[in-house]
Amino acid sequence: MEERAPRPGLEGVVVCDTRLSLIDGPAGRLVYCGHEVGDLAAANTFDEVCFLLWHDRLPDPAERDALRAELRSARTLPSYVRDVIARLPRETSPLAAVRTAISAVAAEAPDLSTLDGPDRIGIATSLVAQVAEMVVAVAGRRRGEPIPPDLSESLTARLLFGLTGRPPVPEDVVVLDQVLLLHAEHGLNASTFAARVAAATETDLHTALCAGLAALQGPLHGGANQRVMEMLEDIGEPAAVRGWLDDLLGNQGRVMGYGHRAYKVIDPRARILDDLCRALSARKGDATWLAISHAIAAVMTDLRPNLHPNVDFYSAPTLHLLGIPKELFPCVFAAARTAGWTAHILEQLADNRLISPRSHYVGRQPVS
């Protein structure tokens, strides 16, 4: 068979059809199941977007309320999962702790081949509820103050309470819900591809989700939001931005929250998050972080006009202003993206073929 040179990073390679999202990189557009992401952010909630991804249509009010009830009742974690989280070494990264907890519940995961569509969506629903609750448990362990189970709050209110350790104000819950909605789905990014590859082997949904989480963990993907906050803290004030960026870029460093494989203009989610963060900064009376972000954006236009902010650039100051510790930012990403991962896994299984590409051998030939 003819050997072909690989495409590094699979750039430009089309791997599958999907109805879940359209990324128009040159135009800076993102569409979830036929809806512009900006329209969804203006009018809908994260749970409605979960429904949209799983059913390919938005819910009516009765369906939305039923989903909300299901997301509450599916929240309870088995006690052995809480034990697993409690016994992990303190230095375990929060995202690794969540991944380990999902591996633990995978022991009880049903065989998807025996389930029909609605039951599969039921498992996806329980995973969204459980991943958020695992994040709550991991955040509580990190603080040394777990918060007691509560089935009365919405998923987003419970998540924000768990992440900060304080009962949230309703306005902050709305902001976090928008952040979750904007992170719910994004084409065939590294973690979604990893989850689909695992799903295509016909493993269970939980295990395929672990593959997605493993790929999310690196700083080039889901770890970037935490790194953006570290950068803002390190810079400290707008006046220090120019010198800081000159040093970093002079040493071939990467500006976290900048650049994207698909978008060659500003990421549409970054635009929405910038506006969200402006309003939040004004409400909290703390303009420091956004001022540094905007100073970086101004200098980057000058130094690297072809690079633009991605979703992490403005989600980091937004999450910080909500009172969420930066080490937990990647867990927020994971809780949101569980919606997209589960939708992709179910889509893969609906018309499955093992994903098994080829490599190009560049090793030595045997001596004959």
Ligand X SMILES: CC(C)(COP(=O)(O)OP(=O)(O)OC[C@H]1O[C@@H](n2cnc3c(N)ncnc32)[C@H](O)[C@@H]1OP(=O)(O)O)[C@@H](O)C(=O)NCCC(=O)NCCS
Q: In terms of CB distance, is 68 or 261 closer to ligand X?
A: 261
Q: What's the start-to-end Cα distance of the chain, in Å? A: 21
SS percent in the chain: helix, strand, coil, step 5: 60, 5, 35
How many Cβ atoms from other residues are within 10 Å of residue 60's Cβ?
Answer: 10
Q: In terms of CB distance, is 72 or 261 closer to ligand X?
A: 261
Contact 339, 156 (CB under 8 A): no
Q: How many residues line the site for ligand X (CB under 6 A)?
A: 15
Among residues 43, 169, 220, 239, the one that binds ligand X under rule CB under 6 A: 220
CB of 27 to ligand X, least distance (A): 17
Q: Which of 47, 204, 274, 312 is catalytic?
A: 312
Q: In terms of CB distance, is 164 or 226 closer to ligand X?
A: 226
The residue with its CB nearest to ligand X is 259
State the maximum Cα–Cα separation within the chain, in Å, rounded to a whole number. Answer: 75
Contact 192, 95 (CB under 8 A): no
Q: In terms of CB distance, is 310 or 338 closer to ligand X?
A: 310
Strand order across the 35-36 sheet = 21-24, 29-32, 35-36
CB of 267 to ligand X, least distance (A): 7
Q: Does 329 contact ligand X by CB under 6 A?
A: no
* DSSP class per residue in 255-275: -TTB--SS-SS--HHHHHHHH
Q: Does 224 contact ligand X by CB under 6 A?
A: yes
Q: In terms of CB distance, is 324 or 346 closer to ligand X?
A: 324
Site for ligand X, residues 255 to 274, rule: CB under 6 A: 255-261
Q: Which residues pair with 309 in a beta bridge?
A: 258
Is 221 a catalytic site residue?
A: yes
Among residues 1, 4, 7, 9, the one that binds ligand X under rule CB under 6 A: 9
Residue 251 tokens, joined = 């040493």
Cα–Cα distances in Å, from 303 out to 33, 76, 114, 245, 347?
36, 50, 56, 9, 42
Applying CB under 6 A, the span of 56-64, 99-107, 248-256, 349-357 interacting with ligand X comes to 248-256
Contact 189, 25 (CB under 8 A): no
User: x/- contact string, 269-308, with ligand X (CB under 6 A)?
Assistant: --------------------------------------x-
Applying CB under 6 A, the span of 25-33, 251-259, 274-282, 330-338 interacting with ligand X comes to 251-259
Contacts of residue 7, Cβ cutoff 8 Å, sequence gap at least 6 = 13
C-alpha closest to that of 125 among 60, 66, 199, 84: 66
Is 111 a catalytic site residue?
A: no
Applying CB under 6 A, the span of 201-209, 249-257, 322-330, 358-366 interacting with ligand X comes to 249-257
Contact 342, 208 (CB under 8 A): no
Q: In terms of CB distance, is 88 or 307 closer to ligand X?
A: 307
CB of 227 to ligand X, least distance (A): 7
Site for ligand X, residues 308 to 327, rule: CB under 6 A: 310-312
Active site residues: 221, 260, 312
Q: Which residues bind ligand X (CB under 6 A)?
A: 9, 220, 224, 254-261, 307, 310-312
